[in-house]
């Protein structure tokens, strides 16, 4: 599948240009056939949806060393230890940033987290090719992020179908009404509303409540980004989120398990 050429300009465009360059390097080392073989040998994907919908606010806890908006966040020498802490605190799933240039992540982080937890793992990256979806499966991901803003409808459909064909779940991420319409049209079963505009890095945590009415009732609804306190988490829960995706607040916390446990405790009946 050819990747739609992108004009340079937004932060998102620049990130994707770097992702494609790094991808070419990996493709020289590992052929697609090798990924398909590895994907056959690894444990089949876990289905996160029932747990994400369970009572109370679910937490998808993120392994995130850095970001374009904040720069360096945390060392995270051993992602499996951090992910194990997240799991101990009651996280429903772990999100692993694998983008190298701006988030200082890698597929090795995904391997480490996969080996360290028994709950679903999300490959958080700028997925624009089928090869990257195969990489996710071959490295044990159960969910793969698809950023609507980064894909045209044909790309979105092709990648969504491959994710489903491999038994994984797509977390389809939107940031505005048009993207929410596209995600609903796609038939996405899990939709994340990113409060952060990936083109400008502005954060507006009100966007989740604004877009919620546009998300199909049966969709798992996830509020992503900018959730720094228990109050922020409770606000997302009141707004109708089934789950929240939290990175910075957890990787900077002295006790991430306690933070996750406090969210679960405060929202479970
Ligand atoms: O660190 P925060 O503000 O808690 O945000 C976490 C997560 O939502 C964010 O890392 C994210 C959401 N969607 C993305 C897409 C690409 C990279 C990163 C992201």
CB 166 within 8 A of CB 40: no
DSSP sequence for 169-187: EEEEEE-SHHHHHHHHHHT
Query: Quick check: is 173 catalytic?
Result: yes
pLDDT band at 3 (very low <50, low <70, confident <90, very high): low
In this model, does residue 6 exceed pLDDT 60?
A: no
Cβ pair 9, 3 in contact under 8 A: no
pTM of the model: 0.97
Q: In whole angstroms, how far apart are CA 180 and each of 11, 163, 185, 199? A: 21, 19, 9, 16
State yes or no: is 28 an active-site residue: no
SS3 of 231-248: HHHHHHHHCCCCEEEECH
Q: State whether the beta carbon of 104 lies less than 6 angstroms from ligand 1.
A: no
88 CA from centroid of ligand 1 (Å): 22
pLDDT digits (tens, 9 = 90+) for 132-153: 999 999 999 999 999 999 999 9
What secondary structure does DSSP assign to the chain, as a single string?
-PPPP--S-SHHHHHHHHHHHHHHHHHHHS-HHHHHHHHHHSPPPP--HHHHHSSS-EEEEEE-SEETTTEE----S-HHHHHHHHHHHT-SEEEEE--STTT---HHHHHHHHHH-SS-EEEES---SHHHHHHHHHTT-SEEEEEGGG--HHHHHHHHHHHHHTT-EEEEEE-SHHHHHHHHHHT-SEEEEESB-TTT--B-TTHHHHHGGGS-TTSEEEEES---SHHHHHHHHHTT-SEEEE-HHHHT-S-HHHHHHHHHHHH--
In contact, 60 and 95? CB cutoff 8 Å:
yes
Q: Ligand 1: which of 224, 256, 263 to mutate, judged by most atoms within 8 Å of the beta carbon? A: 224
Annotated active-site residue 62? The verdict is yes
* Residue 179 designated active-site: no
Of 58, 64, 197, 221, the catalytic one is 64
Cα of 225 to ligand 1 centre, how many Å? 5
Which of 58, 62, 104, 248 is the catalytic position? 62
Listed residue (70, 97, 95) closest to 83, CA to CA: 95
For the stretch 109-130, pLDDT in tens is 999 999 999 999 999 999 999 9
Mean pLDDT value across residues 95-112:
98
- Please give the domain boundaries of the chain with CATH numbers for all domains: 11-266 (3.20.20.70)
List 173, 179, 197, 221, catalytic entry: 173
Predicted confidence at residue 173, as pLDDT, reads 98
Whether the complex's predicted ipTM is more than 0.90 is answered with yes
120 in ligand 1 pocket by Cβ < 6 Å?
no
Q: What's the gap in Å between 19 CA and the centre of ligand 1?
A: 16
* Model confidence pLDDT, tens digit, residues 15-28: 999 999 999 999 99
Predicted pLDDT at 9: 86
Min mean pLDDT across 3-7, 65-69, 147-151, 206-210 is at 3-7
Give the mean pLDDT of 210-224: 97
pLDDT class of 53 with cuts at 50, 70, 90: very high
Q: Let me know: does 236 contact 219? Beta carbons within 8 Å.
A: no
- What does the H/E/C string look like for 124-144? ECCCCCHHHHHHHHHCCCCEE
Q: Span 49-61, mean pLDDT?
A: 96
Q: Is 248 in the pocket of ligand 1 (CB under 6 A)?
A: yes
Cα torsion 70, 141, 259, 116 to 10°: value is -110
């Amino acid at each position: 599948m050819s990747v739609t050429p992108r004009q340079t300009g937004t932060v998102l465009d620049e990130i994707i240009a770097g992702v494609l360059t790094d991808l070419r390097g990996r493709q020289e080392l590992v052929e697609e056939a090798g990924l398909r073989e590895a994907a056959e040998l690894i444990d089949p994907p876990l289905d996160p949806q029932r747990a994400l919908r369970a009572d109370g606010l679910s937490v998808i806890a993120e392994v995130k060393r850095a970001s374009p908006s904040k720069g360096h966040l945390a060392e995270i020498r051993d992602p499996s230890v951090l992910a194990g802490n997240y799991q101990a605190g009651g996280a429903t799933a772990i999100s692993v940033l694998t983008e190298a240039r701006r988030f200082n992540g890698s597929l090795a982080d995904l391997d480490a987290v996969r080996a360290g937890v028994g709950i679903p793992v999300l490959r958080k990256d700028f997925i624009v090719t089928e090869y990257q979806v195969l990489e996710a499966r071959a490295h044990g991901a159960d969910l793969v992020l698809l950023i609507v803003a980064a894909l045209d409808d044909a790309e979105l459909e092709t990648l969504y179908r491959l994710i489903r064909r491999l038994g994984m779940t797509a977390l389809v991420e939107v940031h505005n009404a048009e993207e929410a319409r596209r995600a609903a049209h796609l038939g996405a079963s899990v939709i994340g509303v990113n409060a952060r505009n990936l083109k400008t890095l502005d954060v507006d945590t009100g966007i989740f409540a604004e877009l919620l009415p546009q998300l199909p009732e049966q969709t798992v609804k996830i509020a992503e980004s900018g959730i720094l306190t228990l109050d922020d988490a409770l606000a997302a829960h009141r707004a109708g989120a089934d789950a929240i995706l939290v990175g910075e607040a957890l990787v900077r916390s002295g006790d991430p398990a306690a933070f996750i446990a406090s969210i679960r405790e405060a929202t479970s009946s």
